[in-house]
Each structure stands twice: as C-alpha cells, then as structure tokens.
Amino acid sequence: MRKIAIGVSAWLALVTIAHVSMNVNWAIVLNDRLPLDKRKLNVAYIPVT
C-alpha cells in the first residue's frame, strides 16, 4: 500500500512539474506581480502584416 502511495505521489509530482514547465508562461506570471506602473503591456497579434 505504501509503495502504491509513493508511486502515485511521484507520478503526480512528475506530471505537475511537466505541466508547470511546459504550460505556464513565467514571464507573464512575474509581470502580473509587479506594481501596475512597472508592468509590461501584453500586446496581442496574429501572424499577419
């Protein structure tokens, strides 16, 4: 039982780390934590001229 719990926890941790590293844009997260007047503006565009 203990081995299963460790295995599940390890798998959960692995998937969480993979998700956070691949899907979280840390530049945006950190930017959002800056004071309002210091934040960079996020500018949206599509790949057209």
Interacting residue ranges for other proteins, rule: CB under 8 A: 36-37, 41-49
Q: Is 39 left (phi over 0), alpha (psi -120 to 50) or beta?
A: beta
Q: How far, CA to CA in Å, does 39 sit from each of 5, 22, 25, 47?
A: 43, 23, 15, 24
| Smallest distance from other proteins to CB 49, Å | 4
| Complex with other proteins: residue 26 or 37, whichever CB lies closer | 37
| Complex with other proteins: residue 1 or 41, whichever CB lies closer | 41
| Complex with other proteins: residue 21 or 49, whichever CB lies closer | 49
